[in-house]
Amino acid sequence: MSSSNTAKKKICIVTSSLGKGGAEKSSAVLSILLDKLGYEVHVISILNRIDYDYKGTLLNLGALKDKDASFFGTLKRFTVFLNYLRSHNFDFIIDSRSRPSILKQFLINKVLYVNEKVIFIVHSAFLKNYIPDNKFIAKYLYSNAFKFVTVSKTIKTKLTNKYHFENVKAIHNAVDKPQMTALTESLLLPENFMLFFGRIEDEVKNLTLLIDSYKHSDLIDNKIKLVILGDGNDKLKLEKKVQVLNLSEHIIFFSYTKNPYPIVSKAMCTVLSSHYEGFPTMLVESLSLGTPVISVNCESGPSEIILDTHNGLLVDNHNPDLMAEAMNRFVTDKELYNQCKKNAKNSVEKFSMENISMDWKRLIENLS
């Protein structure tokens, strides 16, 4: 996929980290994608968390922070960041971080990124994690934005309608197929189970709804367990909730693993119950492994991935009875389940590395 034209372009991806999150994983995949296109790739990680495979030269600012988290350490990292950008003269910077702090983003946009061509990625429908609510502040802060890339069409529409930015393009996150098929030994798992995997943060992922839905369903009677795979701030709280409901034998928690795919491939289906999303990689990864999905139709993402009853089930949000009914359907309606399983892999081919890389190539070449 590389060419002599693209090989000369230098691109720097700025990410919060390369570990334990969907946005962070997409940054790692993007580095691989751009490398395959022939670009010279650099990655700047703010935190010292490097779990995912990536391509390119890494500047790990987090390692410096671990050594010195003082105010002077912050100034040093800022200087290292600035000097790195100036010395490499990048053609484009792709900022993939969440950006909730106005002051911090002011310093980054108006000092670090001055005279740079910056593409800002927006990973979530919860826009204020990326752009200030105040439209005047947002306009000023991002007056030098070269382009906004949203990971779903829904976010693009929301961003355009709210801030009237004109330089917005939607590009879905890519799925790295080789990673999907490189399965290793799995954990000791129940024979039949439905699965959630991801960051355990109830404020976003709403695993309370998932647990309540499981309780209301017929899965226990059918000897189908629920596996929750991951770590996060609310894991203990949810484990206690499961104990109070006397469901500890039926809902099993496993810790985060870098390679969850052996577990995903063995699951009956994966289940998403989020309040909101951006572009839920969990759903695409599941489908790419031939595992059908059940998801709430939350803001941004699921409706662009799931065609109801074709590759999974899409249900109204915040309703445990409807979610429980969807879980039951996959157990009782074998024809429906097998159809969704059969269609799973092909349904996400449009999100393959090859297809999404062409979107990025067109964007970069057209902006050059």
State the Cα torsion 273-274-275-281 to the nearest 10°.
-140
What kind and span of H or E run contains 273?
none
Kindly give the confidence (pLDDT) of every residue in the chain, 368 residues in length, as a single tens digit, with 9 standing for 90 and above. 444 444 589 999 999 999 988 899 999 999 999 999 999 999 999 999 999 999 999 999 999 999 999 999 999 999 999 999 999 999 999 999 999 899 999 999 999 999 999 999 999 999 999 999 999 999 999 999 999 999 999 999 999 999 999 999 999 999 876 454 444 445 789 999 999 999 999 999 999 999 999 999 999 999 999 999 999 999 999 999 999 999 999 999 999 888 888 899 999 999 999 999 999 999 999 999 999 999 999 999 999 999 999 999 999 999 999 999 999 999 999 999 999 999 999 999 999 999 999 999 999 998 76
Nearest alpha-carbon partner for 313 in 34, 322, 321 = 322
37, exposed or middle or buried, with CB in 10 Å at 0-12, 13-18, 19+? buried
Helix-strand-coil split of the chain, %, nearest 5:
45, 20, 35
* β 193-197/10-15 pair status: unpaired
- What length does the chain have? 368
**CA–CA distance, 36 with 174 (Å, rounded to integer):** 13
Domains present along the chain, CATH in parentheses: 4-174+352-367 (3.40.50.2000), 178-350 (3.40.50.2000)
Contacts of 326 (CB under 8 A, 6+ apart): 294, 313, 315
Closest CA to 120 of 250, 23, 36, 50: 23
